[in-house]
Every structure is written in C-alpha cells, then in structure tokens.
Homo-oligomer: A and B are copies of this chain.
C-alpha cells in the first residue's frame, strides 16, 4: 500500500503519559517530538519570528546585571541563539544543552561568533546531563502552542530543580494562558469539510457494495467519529485578527516559573466568564493564547520588565498564532450576554506532549435567560 506514512507519523502515537511516574520511551519520544528540531529550516522559522526574537533580545540586553559575570543554563538551545546573547551580555559561562544534532550547528555558530570560551554546547537531554556547577540563570524558549503543547516546561523544571542556585533567576519568570470568545469563518469551512467527507464516504460505501460485494456500512459510525474528531474537535492553529475577539479575554492559568511543579501544570482547570462586546455577532468558538514575562525575582528583579505576548494582533503576530476551539454549530450572541466557560485540559494518555480538553459553555443572555450550549471534547495535536 503506497502511503506517505512511513516516517511521517501522525500525531496520534503510542508513547506513554509523562504526568505521573510512568516511563517515556526515548526512541519513541524522538520519533514523535524531537526530530523536527534537528532541521535548520525549522530553527530558521523560529529565528525569523521578530516578536519572539525582540522579546528575548531585549529581556537579556536590558537586564545585563542578571548575566554579567554569571553562569547561565540554556535549556533546549537549538541554534544556540539565547546562549550566544547571554554570553554577549557578559555571562562568565553558558551551558547550552540541546537534545538533537542541532547541537553541532550550535557549536559551529558559537565558534564563528568567537564565544567558544564562554559557551559550552552539550548534546543531550537536560534531564541526563551533568554540569560542573549550579547556575545563576536558566534561560529557555520552551513555549508551545497555547503555552503547554509539547510539555517542554517539564524539562525546564527538571533543570531548575537540579541546577539553579537558590538565588537563581528564571528567564522567562512568569507565564499565563488566556482565552476569549471569537468569531471565525473556520467554523463554516470545517463543517463543510466534515460534511463533504461524510458525503464522499457514503458514496464510497455504496460503490463498494455494488461493485465489490462488500458492505462497509458498519464502518460509517467509526468513520464519522474519526472525521468528527479530525475536522470539528481538533484545535486549529490560526492567526486571529483582533476584531475576531468578540468578548473579554480571561486568564485561565498563571505559572511562576521559579516554583511551578510538573503536577501544577499537568492539569489546567478554569471556570471563567466572558462578556460579549459586539452587537449581534456569532460565537464561533474560543481562541487560546499565552504570554510570558521577564521580571526576574522579587529579591533580584529585572531592571526592565519585558513581555512576550501571543495575543491576537495586527502587526505583532508570532509563529505561535493562537489555538482555536470551534463551536458546532456557532451561536448568535450580542453585547450584554455573558459566556460562562468550564475549561479542563489534561495530557493525552497516548502522548504526553499532546493535550485533551473538556470545554463546557453556556450563555447568560442580557435578558437573564440561560442557554446551555454544549459540553465538548477537543484535542490539541
């Protein structure tokens, strides 16, 4: 059977939940997760995100006091950019840890920028490496779509607990997840895609019966569930226009990077309310995004606090976009209505780097009338 499959594994794979005491198969984790980071093309994509680059650049160079003469650990150094900037900002020593063969390019880049005496690139998982000393700063760009996809912060926590001095500083220091009700034409597009796929399937079942004598109608239900999950229940990457946000945004998670544990982030649970701000609009679903801050610590603060936000923006969009959770069918709503949302996100059992979301939502109309809307499962893949 010809297939693009081999080597191009789908999102749904058989590795083990890392949220408890279970073992993660490293070969599987590499095949599923790490391998794309070994490509320069992928590194370039991230290095070309000006908002991301500016935030980290400014966070470092506007806060040289945190770096001058200090020891720094860069978790997941990739091309080595943060490690190089840390050295240029005056660090005494930078340990730049990278799990993939990208570490070889990072080493070349460090040398080409004359920083090999300061920056030591170490290939390996940060959970496994041994450093000669504890560090004053841990810097890392670990954020995935909607902050926690990829579950890379687990590795930062592990590094922090082993290698950060008691007085050490985290870069970034804080992270928040946000959600807001949105309108979006995607809801119509995905509905059409799903219905088109089902119509196509029904023709296929008919033809297979007539031409090949096999009745495949028993597979219609599982096929529709599979397609439903794919088209309607999988969150989408999108760059939302600010005008698509139709209600107030709410913080659904706050993380102090200095103290958060893996248990703290395994589950994201939030009940929030959003006021609709637009007259006579369509509630098509919810957009999720995050921001991080570089504030230092209370006893050693940043001189210049920097924010990196991935909120819907006209001219400051990032490669993260936002994650969109669509409502089928969308719902007419208007200024004065309130949307009450229950949000629960957990790691997928099959792959701890992917998420499952239980999202429930009701509308309290301005008249006082309460409309229960739905309770639905979503997948962040």
Contact = CB atoms under 8 A, between A and B. Distances in A.
B7 A27 contact: no
Contacts of A13: 7, 9, 30-31, 35
Interface string A345-357: 0000001011000
A9 B32 contact: yes
A7 B25 contact: no
Contacts of A78: 1
B85 A204 contact: no
B10 A11 contact: no
A204 B45 CA distance: 10
A5 B108 contact: no
Kindly name the residue among A3, A6, A150, A213 whose own CB sees the greatest number of chain B CB atoms within 10 A: A6
Given A9-B8, A213-B88, A41 B226 contact: yes
A192 interface: no
Interface string A178-214: 0000000000000000000100010010001001111
A140 to B, nearest CB: 10
Contacts of A48: 204
Interface stretch (A141-149, A159-167, A251-259, A275-283): A141-149
Contacts of A35: 5, 9-10, 12-14
Given A15-B31, A28-B31, A85-B214, A230 B41 contact: yes
A300 interface: no
Given A39-B226, A41-B226, A109-B219, 11 more contacts: A1-B152, A2-B143, A3-B37, A3-B144, A4-B237, A6-B144, A6-B149, A8-B10, A40-B223, A79-B216, A79-B219
Leading 3 A-B pairs by shortest Cβ distance: A7-B11, A5-B36, A112-B218
Interface of A: 1-15, 25, 27-28, 30-33, 35-42, 44, 46-48, 53, 57, 76, 78-79, 81, 84-85, 88, 105, 108-109, 111-113, 141-145, 149-150, 152, 197, 201, 204, 208, 211-219, 222-223, 226-227, 230, 237, 318-321, 351, 353-354, 381
